[in-house]
């Protein structure tokens, strides 16, 4: 059976991806608190503890799929965004991704593996008050492009979902002082299905970018 590591598997999109991969992969579940009943092997780790990642990954013998779904967002105008917010956002959304991938590259190369990076609509266009998060997602997109160019034997896919019905989205809508309208958002399972489609695409194809928007959404 193939092996997959999914970060951010505690909830939302990450948990949905782990669920959909479980029938075909041994899934390592990256997250601080894994939902009861989610199939896979818990991999509790603080991704911001970069010095510990080498040791934490030592037990993963081989790797076919690496899904980066963990992320953080804090909204606010640029004039009010603190240095600490910039640091926290980039540390998890970009630097931890780069370091975890670097450590696992030998295992991914050996299996002609696939790296999936869950980006955001903010990685394509940034609205007011989304500066630090959008900048981190643009950086993540650039990282994916560079990884794809440098590692021709590994497939690298950036996924850009629109608003999705998750706890993170609830926090976003609260910060925006707007109503939470899940019927207007993507379901986590829908994003997970798009990820599965990319992973199971025939080997002669390289799905580089997948953009998903809720039906009826503009832009």
- Give the CATH number of the domain where residue 45 resides: 3.40.50.720
Spell 184-211 as b/e; 16+ CB within 10 A means b: ebbebbbbbebbbebbeeeeeeebebbe
Q: Give per-residue burial for 100-128: e unless 16+ CB within 10 Å, then b.
A: bbebbbebbeeeebbbbbbbbbbbbebee
List the helix and strand counts (H, then E) for the chain: 7, 7
Active-site residue flag, 133: yes
Expressed as residue numbers, the domain containing 176 is 2-210
Sequence-ordered alpha helix ranges (H) in 79-187: 83-90, 96-110, 131-150, 167-175
In a domain, 98, yes or no: yes
Residue 118 lies in a domain: yes
- Give the total number of structural domains in the chain: 1
| 81 in a structural domain | yes
**Secondary structure element (H or E) that encloses residue 75, with its range:** none
How do the pLDDT tens digits run along the chain, 219 residues long? 999 999 999 999 999 999 999 999 999 999 988 888 999 999 999 999 999 999 999 999 999 999 999 999 999 999 999 999 999 999 999 999 999 999 999 999 999 999 999 999 999 999 999 999 999 999 999 999 999 999 999 999 999 999 999 999 999 999 999 999 999 999 999 999 999 999 999 999 999 999 999 997 755
- Asked if 118 and 12 touch (Cβ cutoff 8 Å), the reply is no
Residue 162 lies in a domain: yes
The pTM for the full model equals 0.95
Q: Is residue 16 part of a domain?
A: yes
Is position 218 within any domain? no
Burial group, residue 164, by CB count within 10 angstroms (0-12, 13-18, 19+):
buried
| Catalytic residue chosen out of the listed positions 133, 138, 143, 185 | 133
Q: What angle in degrees, to the nearest 10, is found between the helix axes of 96-110 and 131-150?
A: 20
The answer to whether residue 126 is domain-embedded is yes
């Amino acid at each position: 059976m193939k092996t997959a590591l999914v970060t951010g598997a505690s909830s939302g999109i990450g948990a949905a991806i782990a669920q959909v991969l479980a029938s075909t992969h041994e899934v390592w579940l990256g997250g601080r608190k894994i939902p009861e009943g989610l199939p896979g092997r818990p991999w509790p780790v603080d991704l911001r503890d970069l010095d510990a990642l080498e040791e934490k990954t030592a037990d993963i013998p081989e790797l076919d799929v690496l899904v980066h779904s963990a992320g953080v967002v804090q909204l606010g105008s640029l004039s009010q965004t603190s240095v600490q917010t910039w640091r926290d956002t980039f540390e998890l959304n970009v630097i931890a991704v780069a370091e975890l991938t670097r450590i696992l590259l030998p295992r991914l190369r050996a299996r002609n593996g696939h790296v999936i990076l869950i980006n955001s609509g903010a990685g394509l266009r940034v609205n007011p008050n989304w500066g630090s998060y959008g900048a981190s997602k643009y950086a993540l997109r650039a990282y994916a492009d560079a990884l794809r160019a440098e590692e021709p034997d590994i497939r690298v896919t950036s996924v850009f979902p629109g608003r999705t019905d998750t706890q993170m989205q609830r926090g976003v809508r609260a910060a925006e002082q707007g109503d939470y309208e899940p019927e207007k958002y993507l379901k986590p399972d829908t994003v997970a299905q798009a990820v599965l489609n990319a992973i199971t695409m025939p080997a002669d194809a390289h799905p580089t970018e997948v953009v998903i928007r809720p039906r009826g959404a503009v832009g």
